[in-house]
Structure 1
Amino acid sequence: MPANVPAVVFIGGGPRTAGLLERIAANRPDVFAGPLRIHVVEPHVPGSGRIWRYDQNPGLLLNSMAADITMFTDESVDCEGPAVPGPGLAEWAAGVLDASIIDVPDFPRPLWKQLRTLTGSTFPTRQLQSQYLEWFFRRASRSLGRSVTVHRTTAVGIAAADGGGHVVELATGRTLHADIVVWALGHTDSRPDAVSARFADFAARHGGYHAAPSYTTDVDYSPIAPGQDVIVSGMGLAFVDLLALLMEGRGGRFQETSDGGLRYLPSGREPRLWAGSRRGVPYHSKISAGLRGQVPGPLRFFTAAAADALLLQHGELDFREHLWPLIAKEAGHWYYRELLTGSPERAAMEWEVFAARYAEMDWYSGERADLVSAAVPEAGLHLDLERLDQPFDGLRFAGHQEVQDAVAGYIEHDLALRDSPDHPETLALFLALLHVYMEVGRVVPPERLNARSQQLIHGWWHGFFSFVDSGPPPRRLRQMLALHRAGLLQFLGPGLEVTLDEATGTFRATSRQSDVSVTATALVEARLPSTSAARSLNPALASLHESGLGSEQQLLRSDGMHSTGKLLVSAQHHVVDANGEPQATLFGIGPGTSGWGAGAFARPNTNAAPFRENDALARTILGVARDIAVVSEPAAAGRN
């Protein structure tokens, strides 16, 4: 290639990079059609990367149905680049089976069985998803001709190069010159924070077991003995994976019962788990109902126009005071529209009458509450977002059995609402929160939020959305109940606190809302590690931070500056250096950055935020590459 061909290096080759490559190919005719040299640095198979790689337990599932997964930027996506339709996971599987898609490897027999039984409502295994993502990466790479080179290794350092650009050092000892660097890794590991480090030290001194926050499938659980009591902190998706690995993964199996439930048949190799968390309950189940009522339209209350009006009035916005009431009102609008139009037997008011009055009311007003009571006589159907967020708030449990009954009853009620055709309003709420979640980063620029609100968005709001919308398949919750009945899973309740007993060498778990106390020599922190560029175990990210090429996001609060741990990027995803300057040729995207994290793949036909971000960033990268090529041409001509 000629000397003036811009070189782009992607650090990370998972689904986010695959999506960016597809968008670069789609936008090249419009922005920069000249030659490119693209390097993808990824130690795992590109496309799936670490998190979605094939080489993990075959029992681990996605928490999305096959019909809700696509990598393609379809016509619904509001972006400058062209839509390029293509099959989502379900259509891809059908295409592989009927041989209309042939550019796939020779799958092992278990995957062929999964392909044959897959439907749109199937929750596929991560192994099957890995093959779809890898296929998409290969397709995106081919669309760029011979421009893409994959390096199956790890980037260990990024430094500014003499004369411009950057040098990317690889674990192999080779270096890559990069005119443009794109940091596109997903979740990375970090050195333990102070609390986890104290737990680890305690376990080491007393011969116990401690698993720090990590990606569940990468943890070695073999030291946990059969029958051993294990305290588990966290009841989210990592907890769901933990159950799969320590129960079925150790030879147990679930058996269908005549009443539609499940019975667990243990292998005898399982430990006994004591699980608790801040809420004390697992994430909500995914929903099997379909909408029956009026078809949802666009967002009505949480809109760019509403945010602009608030910005004109206040200048800087507060999430709780200004945005959350609009989000709550939007969620209620979707919820009650489905309830009143899809289940009119439960309503005492026509939807049109309700909607006209509702539109004039604040969510947190007595008038709105009175309107709901008049329209929906059954109080149990009223939407209470605070109770949804904190289901046991204000309750005090008398003892162990009350905690067990409360958590098990909560799971059973959740399944009754979400895994039956009788409550489609739960799907309407799900869809409302999903659409709002995808819009937050576009409707309100982060720099127009106060510091507390930026933390709330990345913290509480992301957690609440995940709790309600990103839960496991219903079968996983039925499995929890079966494991509970088998005595292998006990609940600790809300407000979990773990302390250390030096006298006995045991971890002690208590709940602030009960007198339950459990001791064990093993503790699992079932969650991903908190993001921290400063404490990162990824050598390239650590290099960015230590050299000053990158910096952590800092927020000013009343008690001083606080770091979110995220790699600071501008609104256009430029990495911001230690001097506060956005770097023109260094970009960052994904959950480890301060940009709005919206996943790497999404539901089809939802104007998905990751696809909008990918398109905008791809056009920015191409624009920078075009400028580099124009500047380089005279120099190259002079040398000739």
Structure 2
Amino acid sequence: MIGAGPRGTSVLERLLANWAAAGPAGTLHIDVIDPYPAGPGHVWQPGQSRLYLMNTQSFYPTVIPEDPALAAPLAGHTFDQWRDLQQRHPDPSLTDEERAEVSGLGQADFPSRALYGRYLRSTLEELLTRIPAGVTVDFHPATATSVRHAAAAGADPAAADPVAAQDSAVRFDVVLDDGTVLTVDSVVLALGHLDARLNAEQRELLTAAEELGLLYLPPAAPADVDWSVVPAGEPVLVRGMGLNFFDVMGQLTEGRGGRFLAAEDNAELTYVPSGREPLIIAASRRGTPYRAKATLTGYYPGSVQLRYCTEDAIAKFAESGIRPSFDFDLWPLLHRDAIWAYYSTLARSQPGAVLTDPAEFLRALDESLRPHAHSTGKWENTMESVVAIHVRAAHRLDLLGLAAPLAGRSFGSRSELDAAVVDYLLDDARRSALGENDAVKMAIGALHHGRAVLKTAVADSGITDESWVAGLRGWFESFVEGLASGPPALRAAQLAALARAGVVRFVGPDPKFGVDRRARTFIAASPWVGFGTDESVDGGSGGVLGGAGGAGASSRTGSGAGGAGLGTASGGAGLGAAVAGDSAAGSVAASAMIEALAPANRVAANASPLLEQLLAEGLVRPRLMMSVEGTPVQTSGLDVVPHPYRPLGANGSVTEGIYVLGLQLSAAQWGTAIAAEARPASGPVYRSGQRTLRDADEIARDILGR
């Protein structure tokens, strides 16, 4: 077992459960390899800051399956069951911090990642007290550096085909970085989140930082970063406003002694700085963070039920022998569901937004959404005509626009932009608080439901390669993550408070990034943000903006290709200053830059000695898919065959005896980063919810049957 985080723990649990259920004679030995403590693994270390929150509520995650068709677990609970147990009968080994958090943690609250790590460790410890007869387990706090067929050990890997002539007696030598060599019958790759090599732009920024004495923090797991190196009172450019951004935000504000105070008359917050914060200059493609989660009693809104993008509807494609396209077959179904969720909620919660009788409107809308055989391609036009007749213009849904709230807008100054982002954040937090009574959040709720259905629909080549590349991963993934994978609503309210306190400012949509070597700063600019008269700065020279999109801010500055000639600020960058961090032509400057991104999840780019060896010697290969133009595209994951998932080698044959689980399956499954879902107390139970645990069970049963 290489990797001892949640997925490795799940395979271990399934091996023990299936061994006990079969009651075989003989022995089973399991070696578990991970440089981080088993159970929590790398991401969920119990000692990390409690400001790092999970993105799911207490009732959601589990490493223990609840499927009666699987071998019964020997021990363990869902996280919520464990939380309840600790509140009633606290484990004596819990620290004071863990006791304090768990005592006040509700079923619908967002736990810290540290507490989830404590759950994982407790689950593993309980499992190890129930090891069946004949089973032994050894843990190796080390890194696996290579896996080779034992018969080829010591031979030149290039001299023979290591994937050929495999049989049921195949064995592997697993080499660890402490010099240990383990000879085993099976290998499970449950590698989880890995470091990755920097892309070309990131390498250039790092090189420039080293040459100019700047601070550049590349993509990393937030708990691995020493945030104390970020200077107080100075501007820091933060790229990315997804989930990692809120981790950065928390460490540089609350983590430095700042406090949020709740207003007595509304849900808005006020931030009281400690004086040790930097000035955070936030940048992302949208110009805004992910939308916050709605306040719900369950993972999915109970008032939203899918009518079109259902598991039964998806199954009909397979029954008809059709391999669906995402854009033309699947998205129209989910699009209908999002529209119905929005307008049915609007008619219920804001009947004044409907110009006619709400019931009459919903009947007409229902009819327009039916996928009539003779007018399937025209349903959007029919639906829009119905909406135009029945709904006030200000309340009509622009679904794709929800993910780009600043699209189509330009701003005369950074202050104008900041005010617009604060308005967006406060509106989003207000909508989250309304929960199932907000039409926008329920449209997003339908997308959230639909994502669970789509995970099953698209798995194992369920859609065409072309639509996986151009549709699912090409546009939909980014779109739905920005809407349905956001932080707790508290984070939106906190960010608004920080912006109003002058601790956070924003760059604007479609930013370009670069380095001003003469001024020795990082710079960033948005083509949609001008430079108002309230933000005067001294000019400079030598600035070059680059990155995706080409010509930087030249459309605003009149400079040549790449934005050459952008100046830098000569004056103060203190907290709350109106021109803090501003550079000429509307750009911003900072001597520190943070990539608020996780390392790239691409097997060809992962900085893993083990993956590099397996790829180089042909035991595994990345998955290639064909684009619509017929061009092969290298995907992010390994090429595997189900079930269980085993990798294909360079020559196209299956590498028997090696199994893959988790993030490296991102070319066979979609949404591999999301944990297994505990069975909900009410509402639909989607097959994708415990898919990872069933995958672990398939691996365990195949290993025991070899």
Q: Tell me if 1:622 matches 2:701.
A: yes
Task: Name the aligned partner's letter for residue 649 of structure 2.
Answer: D
Task: Name the aligned partner's letter for residue 358 of structure 1.
Answer: L
Higher mean displacement: 585-594 or 241-250: 585-594
- In structure 2, the gaps of 5 or more residues are 152-168, 531-585
Taking a change above 3 Å as real, the CA distance of residues 309 and 96 of structure 1, as seen in their structure-2 partners, is closer
Quote the offset at 1:295 in angstroms: 5.3
Taking a change above 3 Å as real, the CA distance of residues 232 and 331 of structure 1, as seen in their structure-2 partners, is same
Q: Tell me if 1:609 matches 2:624.
A: no
Contact 2:263 2:270 in 1 (8 A): yes
| 1:573-615 alpha-carbon deviations (Å, 9 max, x no partner) | 2112122222221111212332313422325323352523422
Alpha-carbon distance between aligned partners in 2 of 1:385 and 1:583, rounded to the nearest angstrom: 44
Quote the offset at 1:619 in angstroms: 2.6
Alpha-carbon distance between aligned partners in 2 of 1:403 and 1:224, rounded to the nearest angstrom: 25
Residue of 651, 659, 674 corresponding to 1:587: 659
Residue of 137, 146, 152 corresponding to 1:148: 137
Q: Which residue does the alignment assign to 1:130?
A: 117
* TM-score (normalizing by structure 1): 0.87
Contact 1:80 1:616 in 2 (8 A): no
Alpha-carbon distance between aligned partners in 2 of 1:415 and 1:205, rounded to the nearest angstrom: 42
Quote the offset at 1:84 in angstroms: 9.0
Residue of 470, 475, 482 corresponding to 1:467: 482
- The residue matched to 1:384 in structure 2 has which SS? coil
Higher mean displacement: 482-491 or 609-618: 609-618
Q: Which residue does the alignment assign to 2:557?
A: none
Contact 1:19 1:611 in 2 (8 A): no
Taking a change above 3 Å as real, the CA distance of residues 227 and 285 of structure 1, as seen in their structure-2 partners, is same
Higher mean displacement: 16-25 or 465-474: 16-25
Contact 1:349 1:374 in 2 (8 A): no
- The residue matched to 1:582 in structure 2 has which SS? coil
Quote the offset at 1:133 in angstroms: 1.7
Residue of 613, 617, 624 corresponding to 1:543: 613
Taking a change above 3 Å as real, the CA distance of residues 87 and 155 of structure 1, as seen in their structure-2 partners, is same
Contact 1:294 1:342 in 2 (8 A): no
Matches within 5 A, 1:222-621: 222-260=228-266, 261-289=268-296, 299-303=306-310, 306-307=313-314, 316-340=323-347, 348-350=357-359, 354-355=365-366, 357-360=368-371, 365-373=380-388, 377-421=391-435, 423-426=437-440, 428-455=442-469, 456-458=471-473, 460-515=475-530, 516-557=586-627, 558=629, 560-572=631-643, 573-593=645-665, 594-596=667-669, 597-598=671-672, 599-605=674-680, 606-607=685-686, 609=688, 611-621=690-700
Alpha-carbon distance between aligned partners in 2 of 1:380 and 1:187, rounded to the nearest angstrom: 43
* TM-score (normalizing by structure 2): 0.79
Task: Name the aligned partner's letter for residue 84 of structure 2.
Answer: A
Alpha-carbon distance between aligned partners in 2 of 1:141 and 1:379, rounded to the nearest angstrom: 61
Contact 1:310 1:322 in 2 (8 A): no
Contact 2:19 2:704 in 1 (8 A): no
Matches within 5 A, 1:112-123: 112-123=99-110
- In structure 1, the gaps of 5 or more residues are 1-9, 629-640
Contact 2:11 2:700 in 1 (8 A): no
Contact 1:22 1:141 in 2 (8 A): no
Taking a change above 3 Å as real, the CA distance of residues 458 and 175 of structure 1, as seen in their structure-2 partners, is farther
- Number of residue equivalences: 611
Alpha-carbon distance between aligned partners in 2 of 1:450 and 1:421, rounded to the nearest angstrom: 36
Alpha-carbon distance between aligned partners in 1 of 2:492 and 2:633, rounded to the nearest angstrom: 37
Alpha-carbon distance between aligned partners in 1 of 2:392 and 2:430, rounded to the nearest angstrom: 16
Task: Name the aligned partner's letter for residue 105 of structure 2.
Answer: L
Quote the offset at 1:328 in angstroms: 1.3
Quote the offset at 1:520 in angstroms: 1.7
Contact 1:22 1:143 in 2 (8 A): no
Taking a change above 3 Å as real, the CA distance of residues 257 and 316 of structure 1, as seen in their structure-2 partners, is same
Q: Tell me if 1:19 matches 2:10.
A: yes
Taking a change above 3 Å as real, the CA distance of residues 284 and 149 of structure 1, as seen in their structure-2 partners, is same
- The residue matched to 2:276 in structure 1 has which SS? coil
- The residue matched to 1:433 in structure 2 has which SS? helix
Alpha-carbon distance between aligned partners in 2 of 1:294 and 1:481, rounded to the nearest angstrom: 26
Taking a change above 3 Å as real, the CA distance of residues 160 and 372 of structure 1, as seen in their structure-2 partners, is farther
Contact 2:143 2:177 in 1 (8 A): yes
Higher mean displacement: 298-307 or 387-396: 298-307
Quote the offset at 1:251 in angstroms: 2.0
Task: Name the aligned partner's letter for residue 442 of structure 1.
Answer: T
Alpha-carbon distance between aligned partners in 2 of 1:390 and 1:364, rounded to the nearest angstrom: 24
Task: Name the aligned partner's letter for residue 148 of structure 1.
Answer: V
Contact 1:569 1:587 in 2 (8 A): no
Quote the offset at 1:15 in angstroms: 1.0
Matches within 5 A, 1:197-212: 197-212=203-218
Taking a change above 3 Å as real, the CA distance of residues 559 and 280 of structure 1, as seen in their structure-2 partners, is farther
Higher mean displacement: 576-585 or 188-197: 576-585
Q: Which residue does the alignment assign to 1:167?
A: 173
